[in-house]
Amino acid sequence: MISENIVRSVLVTVLLILSLGRLFVLCRYSSNWSWHKADLALCALSCVFFALLTGLFWSDRLPAWGEVLFWVTSIFPPLHAYLRIIFQQRENPNTPRSLRIIYPYFVAVSAVAKVAFSFIGTFLLSSVHLGGLFILSVDYLGIAAWYWWLFQQSTLGRAQLRCISCYLSVLALLLLVVAIIGMLGETWILALEIELILALVSSLQLTK
């Protein structure tokens, strides 16, 4: 029977491959974006994180700092989408001021919460890691809400925007299901790895 550690190691390797794939796409095809440099730097940082974690998982050693690093990686997939949204809001004169204020604050609160869950869950109370599982679902609901707003405001590309919004809403629901299964089965690391794979796949699909 395949051990849980091998499964974790394989999944984190998949995460590294997906991150490298996204980095390749950004370098090759997306230089015309206004947010390209920031997104590229963020993607490169996530590749470094996943490369370190891949080595730790395969060596069957996950020190406390490695565990913190692993849980902090949940920042990256939604942050790629939020980065795009924030730049789109600045470039779109029709974006309400309230949305321009809400989204950056929401990103900051989400990132701080994930870092806090990572440290508290590692050093004080492991069950706090559950917060890191569920917050990804909330992130993608927020992202889906933006694309739904664009769908309502746009006259061109409405079908595509509606599809993206629905797709992200389904993804948020799927992430919630994975989080619940991970909570009930007490397989938190595996659950987060699966969530991150789903999120990175969606990130690759939205990189156009």
Q: Is 7 exposed, middle or buried (0-12, 13-18, 19+ CB in 10 A)?
A: middle
Look up residue 141 and give its two tokens: 């609901």
Q: How far is CA 148 from the centre of its chain?
A: 19
Q: Containing domain of residue 75, as a range?
A: 4-206
Look up residue 201 and give its two tokens: 């796949």
**pTM reported for the whole predicted model:** 0.90
Give the Cα separation of 187 and 182 in Å (integer): 5
pLDDT at 82: 92
pLDDT at 156: 65
pLDDT at 208: 58
pLDDT at 76: 93
Give the Cα separation of 112 and 121 in Å (integer): 14
Q: Is 17 exposed, middle or buried (0-12, 13-18, 19+ CB in 10 A)?
A: middle
Give the Cα separation of 90 and 75 in Å (integer): 22
pLDDT at 178: 94
Per the structure, the count of domains in the chain is 1
SS3 94: coil
As averages over each run of 10 residues, the pLDDT of the chain (208 residues) reads 80 95 82 77 94 93 91 93 89 88 93 95 90 92 92 79 90 94 88 93 75
CATH number at 91 reads: 1.20.1070
DSSP state of 207: -
